[in-house]
Every structure is written in structure tokens, then in C-alpha cells.
Amino acid sequence: MASHSPQQFKTRLFYALLAAGGLVVLMGLYAVHMMDEQGHIITGMNNQIVWGVPHVFAIFLIVSASGVLNVSSIGSVFNKPAYKARAPLAGLLSIAMLAGGLTVLMLDLGRPDRIIVAATNFNHTSVFAWNIFLYSGMFASVAVYLWTMMEQRMYPWSKPAGFIVFIWRFVLTTGTGVIFSFLVARQAYGTAILPPMFIVLSFAWGLAVFHLVQSAIYQWNEKSLDEHVQKRMRNLMGVFVIAAFYFVVAYHLTNLYFAHQAGFERFILRDGGIYPLLLWIGYVFIGSLLPLLLIFHPSLGKSKHVVAASLLIVLGALALLYVFIIGGQAFPLNIFPGYESSSSFGDGQIGLYHPSIPEVLLGLGGVGISFLIAAIGIRVLDFTPREIPKASS
């Protein structure tokens, strides 16, 4: 019986992982086909809740695509060599997640071909129209940034390109927050705290994704991450998680201060069924407190604990977005504060939403696209971070 070398085994495993990722993408495309043939009636979405689980995945991928570039910005803009060695990988992950997230958004529209109308008939007053330029600009700026880092003769332009990406990702994440903060038709939104909150959330989520991918690369290549670098990145992720938690608390305290928002906050924090459970258990405990324990506890903080903390942060992010996006739509808009209003259409009623399999498959399809782009890029162009001496990091 012929024996196979470790390298042959890894090659076969790599193609098996690509096949698995491709299968997930195909399942997502099949879900799109089902929704195209039968309509969105097969989803849990309705007239009140028009953004469902696919948007949870899409917003997470887009926000994380911006946040993961924090690694490259620290390296290029603030000239930290330990992070600069990881800047190319951060750029690749940004493009991969942005592509996956935007694909989900487009395919969840029901008529994705209508993007041509939006592109050729630009509405200057629409935040969604602004994002066409923000997303395409992000792709272009990150691609140029990668070129300056990977082409030796372009290296002198790396810092200016990195600075442009640094500014653009702030603008893009602000634009994502503005989509919600300008939306006054839902009580959960319409507050100026959302743009900065999304920026800080992107820092925590992006660095968590980067930790997971970097750990997988080192494990694949049977290497160990430099302890000094690991400690710095671990502590930075902990600071970002604390900052993100602060903004989420500030967001809810701001709502609680206004009398007309008291009903919404009771719904989200206590009376809303699945939404308080996801917020308190999913985000507060699993996505914030437990990761902070794994990061800062004196006897923990090892590589496996950091990976576990990163995974918990990602799960907490999805829980928070589910509460924010879907819970925010489920609570009815209080059109006449202090008065009761009703109609035959169901105004004033809590919206019911049950995620469907096609929605979940579509969301996972976006993750699959991101995985395929990242895996092929890392394999073909070798984005593995090159360690540097501890003294210079």
C-alpha cells in the first residue's frame, strides 16, 4: 500500500477544503434560484421585516472587511513592523470578505439586475447610492495597496497607498452606520451614535477574523506565532472588544434616556423573547465577557485560548447584528407618541420572523465565497506572514 508524504496529504486536504467551500457557494446559489422562482415568500421576511439573516451575514462580512485592515494600517501608517508583515494578508482578507458580503446583499435583493438602474441613474440623496462608490473605491484602493506591497519597485508608494486605505475604510464603515442612522422609519435606528459604533465594532470583529485565519495558516504550516507578537495582538483585540462593548452600552443608554424609546428598549432588553436572549447571552456573555476572560486571565492567553476568544467574538457579532437588524425591524414604529393607533394592515404589532433554510444558505454562501478567495489567494500568492526579529517589532 503506497504511503503519501505530508505534503501530498496537505495538497489533497486543500482541494477537499476548496470543494467543501465550493459546495457551500453552490448551495447559496441554489437558495437564490429558489427565491427567484418562488419569491421571497419562502423566506421569513415580510412587509415589516425586509432585512433578514442574509443581511446579518452580509453586514458582518462588510464591517469585518473594513476592520481587518486595521492590521495593515498599524503597519503602514503607524510604521509598526510586526503588523506590516501581516498587511498583505489583511488586504487579501478585506477583499475576500467585501466580495462575499456584497454578493449576499446583491442576491438578496430579489432583482439583483436592478443594480444597473442604480448605477446608471445615480440618486445623490440616497445613502445606498453613495455606497456604490464606497464599495468600489474600497476594492480599488486595497488592490493598489496590495500591489505596492508585493511589487518591489512599487514599495515606495506603499505608505501613501496604506494611508488612502486607512481613510477610505473609515469612510466606508461610517457609510454603513449612516445607512441605519439616517433611517428614521425604525425606532432602533435614527441616532448619530451608530457610525462611530460600527467603526469600533469593525476593529474588534476584523481583528478576530484575522486571528482565526492567521492561526489556521500557522497551524497548516506547522509554525508557531512569535509570543511577543501574539501578546501585542491579543491585548489589542481585548481593547477593541472593550471599546465595542462600551459603544453598544452607550447606544442603549442613549435610547433609554428618551421616553419615546422606552418601549423599544424594554422589547430588546427584556420582553422581546429571542432578542434579549441573543443580546445578553449571545453578545454580552459569549461575545464579550467570555472572550475578555480568555484574553486577559493570567493563566490563559495562549494561542488556543486566543483562537477560542476570536471565534466567540465572531459568534457574538452575529448575535448582536441579529438583534440590531431584525429586532430593530420587528418592533413597530411609534408614529404618534402618547396615542394608540391601529389599522387593518397590522400597524403597531410586533413583527414575526422565522429564518428559513434558503436565507441561511444564502448567508453561508457569502462566507463560502470569502473562504474561496482567501484560500486560493493564500495558496497561490503566498500571503503567509513572515516573522521578524523580536527586537525590531
Whole-structure pTM over 0.85, yes or no?
yes
Q: Is there a domain that residue 14 lies in?
A: no
DSSP annotation string for 293-359? HHHH-TT--SHHHHHHHHHHHHHHHHHHHIIIIIIHHHSPP-SSTTS----TT-TTSPPP----HHH
Q: What sections of 39-126 are H helices per DSSP?
A: 53-67, 69-76, 81-84, 87-107, 115-120
Summarize pLDDT for 226-264 with one digit per residue, the tens: 788 888 888 999 999 999 999 999 999 998 888 778 888
pLDDT of residue 259: 77
Summarize pLDDT for 46-71 with one digit per residue, the tens: 888 889 999 999 999 999 999 999 98
Q: Is there a domain that residue 341 lies in?
A: no
Other residues' Cβ atoms within 10 Å of the Cβ of residue 165: 27
Summarize pLDDT for 133-158 with one digit per residue, the tens: 888 899 999 999 999 988 888 888 88
Report how far residue 131's alpha carbon sits from residue 185's, in angstroms, rounded to the nearest whole number: 20
Number of domains forming the structure of the chain: 1
Q: Is there a domain that residue 255 lies in?
A: yes
Q: Is there a domain that residue 193 lies in?
A: yes
Q: Is there a domain that residue 243 lies in?
A: yes
Q: Is 369 exposed, middle or buried (0-12, 13-18, 19+ CB in 10 A)?
A: buried
Q: Is there a domain that residue 387 lies in?
A: yes
Summarize pLDDT for 314-350 with one digit per residue, the tens: 999 999 999 999 999 988 877 666 666 666 666 667 8
Report how far residue 95's alpha carbon sits from residue 196's, in angstroms, rounded to the nearest whole number: 22
Q: Is there a domain that residue 13 lies in?
A: no
Q: Is there a domain that residue 343 lies in?
A: no
Residue 367 sits in a domain whose CATH number is: 1.20.1630.10
- State whether residue 86 is helix, strand or coil: coil
Tell me which residue range forms the domain holding 54: 47-334+349-392
Summarize pLDDT for 86-112 with one digit per residue, the tens: 889 999 999 999 999 999 998 887 677
Please answer whether residues 35 and 356 qualify as being in contact, where contact means their C-beta atoms are separated by less than 8 angstroms: no
